[in-house]
Amino acid sequence: MERNRFVRVLREARQTGKAVAAINILNYNTGRAVVLAAHRANRPVILQPSVGTVRRYGVETVAGMAGILREMTNVLVVLHLDHCMDEELAFACIRAGWDSVMVDYSGEDFQDNVKRTRRAVEYAHSHGAAVEGEIGVISGVEDEIVREKGHPASLGETLRYLQETQVDAVAPAIGTAHGQYKELPRLNFGLVEQLKGYNVPIVVHGGTGLPETDFRRLIACGAAKINISTALKKVYLDSARSHLADAKIPPLEFDRRVEEACSEAMEKFIRLFANEDIRI
């Protein structure tokens, strides 16, 4: 059996026609919320802190936290670093036993993107870790990466990128964006479908705000990993604000209620991506 958890859960997703939720946890509380949601849904899940979160708490602390959270459940809990342009940080995560990293050199020209991604793949594979790469440019704000204009990926370019980098998963720019949508994007379902025939899991970024029908169609076309970040941030802050209205709430009860709100919201995505009959 493949020992890398990232590769394992995405392979299983492809084989069963489902997708795995990859959620940008912010701290221990949201990490617990997501693992609890995965446990209740009986589905694997990917915890994918952003570079900002990892810089705040430290590579080893986050790895330790994921290890503790794994003990809460029998479902597979993957630890994956989201959008990293800092090679040293990505390599430090790999050395600390993270399952996988996403390296994002999509802001560079094709050859440089390939070269730097390939170097990360070689390093990761020699340590038993996996790599997700990005081709084309996904727009919006993700942590410290700000890209006003996206650039769609083409099939030819994506296939060359896959061939030359040997990444374990690829996020082609298909029209989704990071953050909140002002208007609904037109997605390139065709590219996802064309890539289905190639042996690589497809990742969808900018999941928050897409309608349920788009999620279902993306999964039917072969998307195996769908990222959720903004939705968790929103429920985390909204529920915190509403519970703080109770001036007498004890801190632990406050944490418990925020955790429960986050967990409920994330469980819906996890189940929806497993093709369950869920409304979001």
Q: Which residues bind Zn ion (CB under 5 A)?
A: 142, 205
Question: Cα separation of 271 and 21, whole Å?
Answer: 9
Q: Which is nearer to Zn ion, 14 or 80 (CB)?
A: 80
- Residue 82 annotated to the active site: yes
Task: Find the angle CA(111)-CA(224)-CA(105) to the nearest 5 degrees.
Answer: 20
CB 172 to Zn ion: min, Å: 12
Q: Which is nearer to Zn ion, 32 or 225 (CB)?
A: 225
Of 82, 104, 143, 168, the active-site residue reads 82
**Which residues 6+ apart lie within 8 Å of 219 measured at CB?**
17, 18, 19, 226, 273, 275
CB 262 to Zn ion: min, Å: 19
CB 238 to Zn ion: min, Å: 22
Q: Which is nearer to Zn ion, 205 or 268 (CB)?
A: 205
**Residue 199 has which token pair?**
């042996």
Task: Find the angle CA(219)-CA(31)-CA(20) to the nearest 5 degrees.
Answer: 15
Residue 220 phi/psi, 5-degree rounding, is: -65, -35
Closest CA to 37 of 262, 215, 228: 262
Q: Which is nearer to Zn ion, 31 or 140 (CB)?
A: 140
| Residues β-bridged to residue 106 | none
Q: Which residue number is nearest to Zn ion in terms of Cβ?
A: 205
CB 205 to Zn ion: min, Å: 3
Catalytically annotated residues: 82
